[in-house]
Amino acid sequence: MANYLNDISRTFGEFLFIPGLTTKECLPINVSLKTPLVKHQKDKRSKIELNIPFVSAIMQSVSGPELAIGLARNGGLSFIFGSQSIDSQVEMVKKVKKFKAGFVVSDSNLTPDNTLEDVINLVKRTEHSTIGITHDGTPNGKLLGMVTNRDYRPEKDAPNKKVSEFMTPFNKLHFGRLGISLTDANQIIWDNKLNTLPIIDDDDNLMYFVFRKDYDSHRENPDELSGEDKSLLVGAGINSRDYVERVPALVDAGVDVLCIDSSDGYSEWQRDTLQWIKNKYGDTVLVGAGNVVDKDGFNYLADAGADFIKVGIGGGSICITREQKGIGRGQATALMDVAKARAEYLAKTGIYIPICSDGGLVHDYHMVLALAMGADFLMMGRYFARFDESPTKKLRIGNNYVKEYWGEGSNRAQNWQRYDTDGVEILKFEEGVDSYVPYAGKMKDNLKITLSKIKATMCSCGAVSIAQLQNTAKITLVSSTSIVEGGAHDVILKDQNR
């Protein structure tokens, strides 16, 4: 007969924290959410540390370049989805890296021979009012002038008026030379009361814009996740099919970390992918693997060279793997089992491999439970899909605004590469659904609330770091009736819309 595990597959909703001693140190302002992203020797720092323990899911409906920029600016990291062409994914990675924490590659450019009508159409399309005028209309052409919304009046100027007639010409522009520091560029902006400073090379080719508004934005993002060159950090999803072509292209684009995207990571295909990458690049290319739900899966990927390991099968809000295949495990049970295996691996090898909890989160306090149960960071899809920065459409259904959200295992995604079956380039059945999530607005506003809840919960547990939380938190199972008791009950709630 099959091997039978005599335990219960439990979810986060079945647990609560018991308060610990809240010392005078336990204030939200003192809580650090820094956490390692990739493996490291015991008592040494990880090559990459997240400033908040959040990464975005490797999904078409979640992780595009806009969300990657927004999340990195707030201290987390995105994995650009891999279910697209290599060239398309590479361009998304480059867009994040070119953001350069203040030095922005222009995506709005015209020539002097274009017209006011071209300007108006470009502004509508990009929603950017600053336009670089170059000799060939490209982002890196020879800079001849600039146009902003202060240079024309659409209601009075003729649509066919040439750009050359109303642009600010080069000889009247303030500019910085390539190699200038962000500090010096901002000083020029301040001294000359500018909104935008073009950065040009020795041949007067436009390289970047530096914006006054970004200076204020940088001050508002103290947790920004960037490298030594001040470029934002970004990850990318890969599969176990075309990694020989995809990985070198992503590495050349400047990607900081990779992750193999699969519903089941306990496979020889993932082992082969990891070993190929490590044989070719050594430790210079960092790559995570998964997903797994037990000790055996963790040890297999750890021995294969994974830099971090994702935990979770079937717990995502759009995932139907459990009902389709009967494969999976309650996220809380899976996470605790893998965390125990990670501790044994550390004791044996002296190497700490971070684990990522992927799925099963319903409430914000579930995030703290996941961290307390051993996760170093959390991968989330539904949470981020709700925001302006996600790549999906915002729709109005009835009286509510929603955003589209679909799984990588759905027919809509057509991501057959993440399933290692018989090589057929088709999904034989779905393991994900096509759905909507309630629209929630800007990422930063929502993150602020979520992180406040996390820090407050940690303080109630007597912890000011994730490591301390994992060592000191007390967790208890709850009954179905105590779950009811935990919400509003035996009262008539007021209508909040009145």
Q: Tokens for 418?
A: 């993440």
Q: Tokens for 38?
A: 């990739």
Active-site residue, from 246, 382, 386, 418? 418
Dihedral of CA atoms 64, 69, 71, 72 in degrees, nearest 10, equals: 130
* Encoded amino acid at 47, one letter: K
Q: Which whole-number Å values give the CA distances from 213 to 191, 217, 460, in the listed order? A: 15, 6, 38
Q: Is the bond leading into 291 cis (omega within 30 degrees of zero)?
A: yes
Active site residue 459: no
CA-nearest of 226, 223, 146 to 182 is: 226
Active site residue 319: yes
Active-site residue, from 259, 319, 356, 461? 319
Geometric angle at alpha carbon 181, from 177 and 182, rounded to 5°? 110
Q: Could you give the CA distance from residue 280 to residue 126 in angstroms, rounded to a whole number?
A: 40
Q: Could you give the CA distance from residue 206 to residue 225 in angstroms, rounded to a whole number?
A: 26
CB-based contact 374:368 (threshold 8 Å): no
Question: In sequence order, what are the beta bridge partners of 250?
Answer: none
Task: Report, as residue numbers or ranges, the catalytic residues.
Answer: 319, 418
